Amino acid sequence: MAHAVAEEKPLHMGLPISNGKVAMWLFLVTEIMFFTGLIGTYIVLRNGSRDWPTPAQVHLEEWIGALNTFVLICSSFTVVLAHAAILKGNTGRTALYITITLALGAVFLVVKAYEYNAKFEHKVLPGLIPYDQYQGSPGIRYRTYVRDKLQEILALTSQPAALDQQIEALEKALKVQETAREADKLSDEALDRMEARLEELQKLKKLPKESLAQCQVILNGILEIEKAGTDALLSEQQVRGLSEQVQQLVHHDEKVPVKYIIPYGNAWASCYFVMTGFHALHVLGGLVVFVIILLIAAFGKLGAQHSSMIELTGLYWHFVDIVWIFLFPLLYLV
């Protein structure tokens, strides 16, 4: 009788999987809801807005997004290979696959940093896009801005000597102001404005005749519209066309210091940085765990007992991959 009791299978409460896996899945479920909040906000804002920026308007390259997708898919593959290797007790191969995954994750972040840099360079940042609507008074304000800016550009470039004098005077003033900033008497913002103005004037000096001719064509168009009367002045279509003309000119010659309208660009930039930023932080978190695994391997302690750790890290990493699988088409394609 006692023997029969010993042979009985012990009762076990809970799921027939490890506690770690249950915990990881519970964590991933919270992550699903977290990213749904972000992605849902993007979808609702995008579909609830009258316009939305195209990838070209916000300096987003589709092939870069596709490259990062490829990198993450490769890294997901190497993680499952690492898990398969540790199950076979091959710690050397496990460390190799984890190293490759770490490198791929780092490549993803470097590409993302390159993309962010383009956004900072072109000031496609939340709250810093001054013209983000075609219709109504913002559209009218935009046309006035383009007219004034083009008139200024054409006036300055028609008198090279005067332009040189302005640049020289600004350079001298900047040196004085830099000393003032060192003594905390001038805000960084004021100095940044002066530097931006100097950069703009220096670019004007290098503007080719074709670009100036194009500036003149656009300016003539605005002046004609202004002569035509109120209906044309209030036309959203006209502002849209004007912005497209400016966009073509700026994409052809980046030295032309005129802004084009990025429709709902501030909302787009907020969504883009929050979604990709949190995703990048998750990638970074994964890389930290991979480094820990490699450190364990470096000390010669990596073994079959770590198979669960690698599997759970893999689960997390694949989830990060799945999030990117949805972010890529949402931000870059559709």
Partner 1 sequence: MTESQTPPTPASPTAPEGQEHGHHGESHLQAYLVVFGALIIFTAISFLANTAARHHFISSFASFVIILGVAVCKATLVGMYFMHLITDWGRVFLMIVPALVLAPLLIIVLLPDIVLAWQNIMPP
| List of residues contacting partner 1 (CB under 8 A) | 9-10, 12, 15-22, 25-26, 29, 32-33, 36-37, 39-40, 43-44, 47-48, 50-51, 62-63, 66, 69-70, 73-74, 76-77, 79-81, 83-84, 87-88, 304, 307-308, 311, 314-315, 318-319, 321-322, 325-326, 328-329, 332-334
- Pick 48 or 300: Cβ nearer partner 1: 48
- Pick 272 or 316: Cβ nearer partner 1: 316
Tell me how far, at minimum, the Cβ of 76 lies from partner 1, in Å.
Answer: 6
- The C-alpha atoms of residue 334 and residue 332 are separated, in whole angstroms, by 7
- Pick 12 or 185: Cβ nearer partner 1: 12
| Distance, C-alpha 263 to centroid of its chain | 17
Contacts of 237 (CB under 8 A, 6+ apart): none
Tokens of 278: 């949190």
Tell me how far, at minimum, the Cβ of 147 lies from partner 1, in Å.
Answer: 26
- Pick 173 or 325: Cβ nearer partner 1: 325
- The C-alpha atoms of residue 306 and residue 35 are separated, in whole angstroms, by 29
Tell me how far, at minimum, the Cβ of 180 lies from partner 1, in Å.
Answer: 48
CA of 51: how far to CAs of 48, 135, 264, 274, in Å?
Answer: 9, 10, 7, 20
Helices (H), the chain: 2-7, 19-48, 62-87, 91-121, 136-158, 160-182, 188-205, 209-228, 230-233, 236-252, 265-298, 307-328
End-to-end CA gap in the chain: 70
- The C-alpha atoms of residue 82 and residue 97 are separated, in whole angstroms, by 5
- The C-alpha atoms of residue 247 and residue 259 are separated, in whole angstroms, by 8
Tokens of 238: 């006209």
- In this structure, the number of other CB atoms found within 10 A of the CB of residue 136 comes to 11
Tell me how far, at minimum, the Cβ of 114 lies from partner 1, in Å.
Answer: 19
- Pick 3 or 12: Cβ nearer partner 1: 12
Helix axes 160-182, 136-158, angle to 10 degrees: 110
- Pick 46 or 197: Cβ nearer partner 1: 46
CA of 241: how far to CAs of 60, 246, 247, in Å?
Answer: 21, 9, 10
Tell me how far, at minimum, the Cβ of 324 lies from partner 1, in Å.
Answer: 10
Tell me how far, at minimum, the Cβ of 142 lies from partner 1, in Å.
Answer: 18
Q: Smallest Cα–Cα separation from 263: which of 246, 277, 243?
A: 243
| Distance, C-alpha 215 to centroid of its chain | 30
Torsional sign, CA 46, 47, 50, 56: positive
Tell me how far, at minimum, the Cβ of 263 lies from partner 1, in Å.
Answer: 11
- Pick 24 or 212: Cβ nearer partner 1: 24
Tell me how far, at minimum, the Cβ of 33 lies from partner 1, in Å.
Answer: 6
Tell me how far, at minimum, the Cβ of 269 lies from partner 1, in Å.
Answer: 19
- Pick 77 or 116: Cβ nearer partner 1: 77
- Pick 132 or 321: Cβ nearer partner 1: 321
